[in-house]
């Protein structure tokens, strides 16, 4: 009984530590090696493209290239503007700034990306 109790307590401690662990930082050029993983990717937003088409309830998505613009982009993230400001608000919030975006790295024909449906996944770094 004591061994079982100790094993359960150790398992619960391991789960608690794992839940509080921060995702690893991955460089934009290395994201292609981390598809399917949750990570934080930091870099400078060098280009932004507003989609022609909107997504119901979200508006038009904006694609932000990190460190390298199209057609040589190495990583990008997708975000949405606020309801009041629309996609132009999102562009103003991140264009030319150093940002860190956290989420699951996915892959498309245009390269690795993170869909930041929740803007809390994106942090600007004023120090850089």
Tell me how many domains the chain contains. 1
**Backbone phi, then psi, for 51, in 5-degree steps?**
-65, 150
Look at residue 6 and tell me if it is in a domain: no
Number of Cβ within 10 Å of residue 30's Cβ equals 15
Confidence (pTM): 0.81
Please report the pLDDT score of residue 84 as a whole number: 80
3-state secondary structure of 96: coil
Q: Report the CATH number that the domain containing residue 79 is assigned in CATH.
A: 2.40.50.140
Does some domain include residue 34?
Answer: yes
Q: Which domain, by its residues, includes 107?
A: 23-124
Provide the pLDDT for residue 7.
Answer: 46
Tell me if 17 is assigned to some domain. Answer: no
Comparison of pLDDT for 21 and 101, the residue scoring more: 101
Residue 76 lies in a domain: yes
Q: What pLDDT, on a 0 to 100 scale, did the predictor assign at position 17?
A: 47
């Amino acid at each position: 009984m004591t061994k079982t109790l100790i094993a359960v307590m150790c398992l619960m401690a391991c789960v608690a530590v794992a839940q509080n662990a921060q995702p690893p930082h991955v460089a934009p050029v290395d994201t292609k090696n981390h598809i399917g993983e949750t990570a934080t990717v930091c870099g400078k937003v060098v280009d932004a493209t507003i989609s022609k088409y909107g997504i119901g309830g979200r508006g038009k998505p904006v694609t932000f290239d990190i460190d390298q613009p199209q057609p040589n982009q190495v990583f990008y993230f997708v975000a949405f503007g606020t309801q009041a400001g629309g996609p132009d608000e999102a562009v103003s919030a991140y264009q030319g700034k150093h940002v860190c975006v956290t989420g699951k790295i996915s892959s498309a024909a245009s390269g690795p990306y993170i869909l930041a449906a929740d803007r809390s996944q994106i942090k600007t770094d004023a120090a850089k």
